[in-house]
Structure 1
Amino acid sequence: MNKNGPIIIIEDDLEDQEFLEEVFQKLAYPNELIFFTDGLKALEFLNKEEVNPFLILSDINMPKLDGFALRDKLKTDAALTIKCIPYLFFSTALNQKAVIQAYSASVQGFFVKQSSLSELEKTISAIMEYWKRCAAPNNF
């Protein structure tokens, strides 16, 4: 896990992208934010050898390649698995089936998009602080 690497945000709603960008700016984390509107574009980027992100925040319902399909591709690709990139769902699609499917795919977290900036800030802060403190096999 590259704690100084970029944060990949896969979100097709431009308003949600703006909210997330505003929250990250307010929290002043030094990580670059890289946005994608679909999973296929994100996968192409992640497959570049020199790319080593800190974490991925992914919506579930997206065009071309949804969050579940993208997670499956990342989990089964040896070159991407070795990068130890935490994969978190950040979605409004909260239901038991989606949560079970996410954790069955070894997603490291399932978070609900909040409608208020202050609640979104609390969630992003908790995510960032947790993963900044975690150790990963490739940290050694």
Structure 2
Amino acid sequence: MNKNGEIIIIEDDTDDQFLMEQAFETLEYTNKRVYFADGLDALEYLHSSDTLPFLILSDINLPKLNGFELRKKLSNDAELNLKCIPYLYLTTAGNQEAVIDAYSSSAQGFFVKATKFSELQEMLQTIIGYWKKCSAPNDFD
């Protein structure tokens, strides 16, 4: 896991993108953030980029390729799967069915979008802090 790698954020709402970027800036994380408005563009980027991202934060309800479909494609792609990129959902769809579907796809986390900026900061701090301390199989190469 590349702890200094990019954070891929797949979010189609530009207001949510703006708030997330503001939260990341106030938390002073040095990881570059790369935003995509749909899952298909994110998938194409992950296939074409030579960088190893740190993690993926994905909404569920996305145009072209939703978060569940994207997760399935990434899981079925041997090359991308070996990169051990944590895949977390960050969405407003906080219902039992969505959570079951998320974990059935082997997602590493499911978070409901915060309604207050301070809650968003706290959530991102928790997520990033956890994954910065976590070990992955490719950490030992």
Matched AA of 1:65: L
- CA deviation map 1:85-127 (0-9, x unaligned): 0000000001100000000000000001011100000000000
Q: How many residues get paired?
A: 140
Residue number in structure 2 paired with 1:79: 79
What's the TM-score, normalizing by structure 2?
0.98
Name 2:104's counterpart in structure 1: 104
Match of 2:9 in 1: 9
Report sequence identity in percent: 59
In the TM superposition, residue 58 of structure 1 has moved relative to its aligned partner by: 0.1
User: Which residue does 2:63 correspond to in 1?
Assistant: 63
Q: Give secondary structure in 2 for the equivalent of 1:35.
A: strand
CA distance in 1, matches of 2:51, 2:71: 17
Matched, 1:118 2:114: no
With structure 1 as the length reference, what TM-score do the two structures score?
A: 0.99
Aligned residue for 2:90? Answer: 90
Deviation at 1:4, TM superposition (A): 0.4
Q: Which runs of 4+ in 1 moved over 6 A?
A: none
- Superposition CA RMSD, Å: 0.6
Unaligned segments of structure 1, at least 5 residues: none
SS in 2 for 1:123: helix
Gaps of 5+ in 2: none
Q: Report if the CA contact (8 A) 1:45-1:51 is conserved.
A: no
| Alpha-carbon contact 1:8-1:35 (below 8 Å) kept | yes
